[in-house]
Structure 1
């Protein structure tokens, strides 16, 4: 599956939403919503982790993080 150009241009959040919607659509067609829901949960955890990493990078760049 190719991620649409628009989703890539709009960034990570749009790409994750696209993947989640696609997973649900495919699951609905095949009747496997439990698998799709687990996939969506995994995407959510990945997104949360990426946000945390970006936050640490931003804090490090501005000198907000202190190391002991």
Structure 2
């Protein structure tokens, strides 16, 4: 499952971050790493970007980029 498929309120474990260039390093610096729990907090008014919560940090990620992050659903 990809991160952009996560629905509001669902929790997931990050499995793998694909090739998203320079953004990958910034996401890792903010705590978006394999094994971390992430959940969708809300969508922007037009649906993009989406705001996720990881380690008590709110992080906005574009759907285009979140499609490269593989996750495993752990809670609905």
Same fold (TM over 0.5): no
TM-score normalised to the size of structure 1? 0.23
Structure with higher Rg: it is 1
* Greater RCO (CA < 8 Å, at least 6 residues apart): 2
Structure with more of its chain in strand, by fraction: 2
